[in-house]
Structure 1
Amino acid sequence: MEFIKEQILFTFLFFFFIVSLQSQEKKIDSLKRELQIHQEKDTTRVKFLNQLALYHYRNDPPQAIAYVVESLKLAKELKFIKFIARCSYVKGVVYMEQANFEVAIDNLNNAIKHYTTINDLNGIEKCKNALGVLYDYKGEYKLSLKNYEEGKAIAEKLGNKESINTYLYNMGNIYASIGDYQKAKNNFNKVLNINIKDKDSLGMLSCLNSIATVYYEQSNYSQSLKYNNESLYIAQKIKDSIGIFQSYINIGNTYRLKDLYDKALHFYNKALAIKAASFNVKNITALKNNIAGVFYDKKNYESAEAYYLESIALSQEIDDNVNLVTAINGLGFNYLKTKKHAKALKCFKEALEIYALDYTSLDLLDSYQGLAETYFDMKKYDLALLNARELEKLAEKNKVLLHKKEAYIMLYKIYKIKGDYKKALENHEQYKIIGDSLLNKENIKKITEIEYEYKYKNELENAEKREIKLTKTVKATSKDLEKSQQKLLLGVIVFLIITILLAVIIFFLKLRNIRSKNQNSLIEQKLLRSQMTPHFIFNSLSVLQGIILNKEEEKSIHYLSKFSKLLRITLENSRDTMVLLSQELIAIENYLALQNLENESYRYSILVDKTIAVALFKIPPMLIQPFIENAIEHGFKNQNENKKIDVQLKFSGKSLICIITDNGIGINAQKESVRPYKKSLATTITSERLEILSKEFKMKGSVTVEDRQQYNEKGTIVTLVIPYKIYVA
């Protein structure tokens, strides 16, 4: 008798799986940051919301629903059919994971409808795959295969190898469900080889899990136990609650088959206590069936009945025929044990009606076995024989050893009572052959070895620690026996301690000295950043006074606005070691405009490459302005016309570069001037600042000043390589 249909998990290549999950967590964090920054209601925000929904649909379904509801609402407001279709698809996937099949089907069909209107084959293909998975969940295997085949045909038309592999895997699961194990293994192994080649850890995990399920259905419990223990070991390492939940169930199932019912119940209850699994009602119904089965095995029929009834109610609520039939059959066997024959027959017949024409369902084996045993108990031997023969036929067709064994023992009993001793003997011999194959010594040995493999892995690190500790103890004992060597060792240790202390003191003295120098440099920088050229302020106020006296009200207001904004930004920036590039550019633009407002004596431009997001870059303040000021005050000396200053920012090789170009007298001519001090001071201080900042930021920072004469041009060119940070909200 088989009450349970569980999914057995197995993990292959642990390293790649860990990397993949860590990468997924980083991706979620990155998407959340992007969503927080991107507040515009456009298709980009829809994409972010859908991606977050898919990342959360397994371990946090309520959050996934919140994301997809917002994305669908926004897509409808934008009236973008492709995104409406995509949102409907994501919503269908999320609800399917929670076993809310009716809502999931509506959303997936709605997505297909929208994708069809724009002839989006990729979208239709993904929906077909999702519907195939959904009907597989429901146990409607024909509909599942139909959708898989239609989706696979589209994938082949598009030449999408990845999707073709997905369909091979999913169709393999259907073949396993209907008992065609050879086809199932062929499909799984094809996809597994591709996943190993591509180092796709999650793909390998899925394939190996499915192969494990096939082994379980074929009664190869040694392999199932191995995969269960591997799965639990890895799930605990990566703290995957759903993986732990499924591993607990699978280990409980194996202990149950070995008649270790208390151990089985222990693992089932641990699984039931995992909160994250409660979002999927289908998982809970399967688990309650398993717990009921353990109580049945322990002959606690009252508790078994209660759990079966709970499972039946939950299965009917979500339209889950697979777990529903399992629960009904289990309840039937429970009634049989308590001699409630009428109720037992009703249960087995009801289970048969659900899969009336689907002779590939393994649940039918339980139903026919239950009918045969119930009629036999009621002494209705002809009806018992009819159902026992049907059980034998289906068990042979699906190659299920346990049910074949039950069929032969039932046939033996029936023929013996009916007086057909020849047939009774034949069936009894078949029963012994299968019993021997299930309980041979080699199989038992493998199960025992693999059962402890998981324990050995958990104890490995402790064993290594004990070994290290034992080694230290042995060394300590040897030292006690050699007192002279012990004294020498003590002297060496004292010498080493004194040496280390001296080294530490010297290190901290040097460190304090460096910190003092850095602090002095920072104070000097703040002082330099906080001051503004008195000559510039005086000139600005004089110009403003002249404009007011001339009663140019509009111009004076404009001038005063720019002057006050520049003062405010300068004061604010003087308090911070880093400012947004956008703020620094505003300050520079205001400075240039004020210097030029009275008579527009020169032309200027500020160019920023499209690759630079000025709202995300943060740079040290007041690095650029001194060189612009120098160009205005000294570069255009004795030059009245055709004066031009260009400021260009570009991003190249992960370096933020600012190029300040003027067409003045040139740096060489300035050096011969009477007042070269300001230029020299700006260059010197900026160089010192950049040297300190380069160490702090661990990236290049420099300043170079060249005369354009060497390029057969007039003026000066200043190149700043500015250290920066990327702003994260």
Structure 2
Amino acid sequence: MFNKKTLISFLLITLLTTSVKAISETDSLLHITKTSQADTIKIKAFNELVKKVFHYDPQQAFVFSDSALALSKRINNTYWEGITRINKSSLLYHTERYKEGIEQASICLRIFSSLRSELNMAKSYNNLCLLYQAVGDYPTALDFAYQALRIAEKINELSQLANIHNNIGMIYYLLGMQNKSTEYFLKSLDDNIKSGNKQGMAIGYLNMSSIFVEKNELKKAQEFLQKALQINKEFNLNTAIAQCYTQLSNIQYLKKNTDSALIYINWAKDIYLQIKDSLGLATVHYNKSKYLKSSNIHAALEELIIAERYIAPNIDLQQKINIYSALSELYAIKKDYKNAYQSFHFANLLKDSLNDFEQKKKVQEMQIRFETKRMENEISRLQQITETKEKENTQQQNELKRSKTQQALLLFIVSALAIMSILLIAILLNRTEQN
């Protein structure tokens, strides 16, 4: 059915081509930082370098970010300092330094509030949303998201609206509020379709696929996923491609097509190995173990042992519990009771932490339900005020038009009467002269 070697070779060539292109672009930007006479151009180049390299060399990305920040401070350019800090807060988010990221994003917000740069204020609020979401403070994250949303709606910035709607959807998704998450994921997808943002559309399709997997509507899930995969391949987005393959493997497994599931999960693994994504690799090996469990216990156990090696702080608690619980079960089957008990113990410790987290999450969910209603009412109120003002403006304009029309008509009548009077006088004078 599949020529695996050919496909893997193709993937490796694609990855290599993408890497060469990225290196070429990086060299060009580095050249600008060394040769440009304009400091703002250098700052912009440093910021672009941050975006280019942070996926594979975050430490170097921080060096570029610090260079941009130092230069913007040296020339006392507050705007570029703010832009640099926005990018740095994103970098800190991706490297899981959330507290520092919150500090940077807060400074950004102060800078752009003073500059009255609404777009960048929205970006700052959005970054704060992501950072607070990452530390599990969903109410604060949602509050920042809605503040970003108000600004983005005001300035009608579709790309920001798409990001914000997606982030709100993700918060609701994490809280298990499926209807609300679907609502906002669809809004985000619609924003990206309107703006023609294909990469954003791919994220939306992947999110919707996850929703339909949870609903066990696998056909719809796969349809959305294929759309996401097509776009991600078009733009050579390797992490996203691997995520799609992982999701495809899961769908195939749920359809009881284990062979296809293993093919897709191996494709995902090859990409994650190339980009050194520990979170992706942990997920891949856990899933692979699940697929192999019914046919090859020994191979399934080996996959779980590998998955355990990749366990890192950025893997969510439930995933860790799944790995240790599965390890305990397979060790017990192999009659390795010492490791079975140890894994069982780790799983229980994590479950206690998860229970505490779940309790906190329930409280947050209730708070968010209340806050969401309040925020939506506030947005509705502001929209009504805007609509009322627009109606008043329309009425005023209509009244002004009517007034101008009446004035014009009156002027016409007066002019006509004046002309008639002049003609009448002329006729009378003419008759008088004749007499």
TM-score under structure 2 length normalisation:
0.69
User: Considering only aligned residues, what root-mean-square deviation do their CA atoms show, in Å?
Assistant: 4.1
Q: How does 1:90-489 map to 2 (within 5 A)?
A: 119-135=37-53, 139-142=55-58, 144-145=61-62, 147-149=64-66, 151-152=68-69, 154-155=71-72, 160=77, 162-192=79-109, 194-195=111-112, 201-274=118-191, 277-356=194-273, 359=276, 362-381=279-298, 383-398=299-314, 400-419=316-335, 420=337, 421-440=340-359, 442-459=360-377
Change in 2 beyond 3 A, CA 1:371/1:457: same
Judge conservation of contact 1:179–1:362 (CA < 8 Å) in 2. no
CA displacement at 1:170 relative to structure 2: 1.8
Identify the structure with bigger relative contact order (alpha carbons < 8 Å, sequence gap 6+).
Answer: 1
Question: Tell me, which stretches of 5 or more residues in structure 1 are unaligned?
Answer: 1-99, 465-507, 521-729
- Percent identity between the two aligned chains: 17
TM-superposition CA deviations, 1:107-139 (whole Å, max 9, x none): 886677578656444323312312323455xx4
Distance 1:233 1:105 in 2: 39
Judge conservation of contact 2:146–2:375 (CA < 8 Å) in 1. no
CA displacement at 1:295 relative to structure 2: 1.4
2:97 aligned partner, one-letter code:
D
Distance 2:379 2:185 in 1: 27
CA displacement at 1:241 relative to structure 2: 3.0
Q: Which has the higher helix share?
A: 2
CA displacement at 1:324 relative to structure 2: 1.8
SS in 1 for 2:234: helix
Judge conservation of contact 1:225–1:447 (CA < 8 Å) in 2. no
Judge conservation of contact 2:123–2:160 (CA < 8 Å) in 1. no
CA displacement at 1:297 relative to structure 2: 1.0
Distance 1:227 1:277 in 2: 24
Judge conservation of contact 1:316–1:324 (CA < 8 Å) in 2. yes
Change in 2 beyond 3 A, CA 1:134/1:358: closer
1:682 is matched with none
Judge conservation of contact 1:172–1:183 (CA < 8 Å) in 2. yes
Question: Tell me, which stretches of 5 or more residues in structure 2 are unaligned?
Answer: 1-17, 383-402, 416-435
Distance 1:248 1:361 in 2: 28
1:659 is matched with none
CA displacement at 1:326 relative to structure 2: 1.9
1:459 aligned partner, one-letter code:
N
Judge conservation of contact 2:269–2:284 (CA < 8 Å) in 1. yes
Change in 2 beyond 3 A, CA 1:123/1:418: same
Change in 2 beyond 3 A, CA 1:218/1:330: farther
TM-superposition CA deviations, 1:353-412 (whole Å, max 9, x none): 32326556543443233233333354434x444443454454443363343233333333
**Max Rg structure:** 1
CA displacement at 1:178 relative to structure 2: 3.1
Judge conservation of contact 1:332–1:343 (CA < 8 Å) in 2. yes
Distance 2:341 2:357 in 1: 25
Distance 1:333 1:164 in 2: 44
Distance 1:271 1:185 in 2: 24
Distance 2:114 2:365 in 1: 31
Judge conservation of contact 1:189–1:207 (CA < 8 Å) in 2. yes
SS in 2 for 1:397: coil
Distance 2:305 2:137 in 1: 25
Distance 2:91 2:278 in 1: 11
Change in 2 beyond 3 A, CA 1:349/1:177: farther
TM-superposition CA deviations, 1:298-346 (whole Å, max 9, x none): 1122222222222122111112223222212211222222233333233
2:420 is matched with none
Distance 1:286 1:113 in 2: 33
1:403 aligned partner, one-letter code:
Q
1:21 is matched with none
Judge conservation of contact 1:408–1:430 (CA < 8 Å) in 2. no
TM-superposition CA deviations, 1:153-203 (whole Å, max 9, x none): 655665656545543432332232133334433443454455566665544
Distance 2:140 2:303 in 1: 32
CA displacement at 1:264 relative to structure 2: 3.5
Change in 2 beyond 3 A, CA 1:367/1:126: same
Judge conservation of contact 1:179–1:398 (CA < 8 Å) in 2. yes
2:316 aligned partner, one-letter code:
V
Change in 2 beyond 3 A, CA 1:245/1:166: closer
Change in 2 beyond 3 A, CA 1:384/1:166: farther
1:44 is matched with none
CA displacement at 1:285 relative to structure 2: 0.8
Judge conservation of contact 1:372–1:388 (CA < 8 Å) in 2. yes
Distance 1:117 1:187 in 2: 29
Change in 2 beyond 3 A, CA 1:225/1:186: closer
TM-superposition CA deviations, 1:73-122 (whole Å, max 9, x none): xxxxxxxxxxxxxxxxxxxxxxxxxxx99999978866775786564443
Distance 1:165 1:274 in 2: 26
Change in 2 beyond 3 A, CA 1:349/1:459: same
Length, aligned pairs only = 369
Distance 2:39 2:104 in 1: 24
1:716 is matched with none
Judge conservation of contact 2:222–2:251 (CA < 8 Å) in 1. yes
1:449 aligned partner, one-letter code:
Q
SS in 2 for 1:374: helix
CA displacement at 1:280 relative to structure 2: 1.9
Change in 2 beyond 3 A, CA 1:114/1:423: closer
Q: Which has the higher strand share?
A: 1
Judge conservation of contact 1:295–1:301 (CA < 8 Å) in 2. yes
CA displacement at 1:207 relative to structure 2: 3.0
1:453 aligned partner, one-letter code:
E
CA displacement at 1:291 relative to structure 2: 1.0
Change in 2 beyond 3 A, CA 1:177/1:141: farther
SS in 1 for 2:293: helix
Distance 1:134 1:276 in 2: 25
SS in 2 for 1:273: helix
1:60 is matched with none
Judge conservation of contact 2:286–2:303 (CA < 8 Å) in 1. yes
Distance 1:149 1:117 in 2: 19
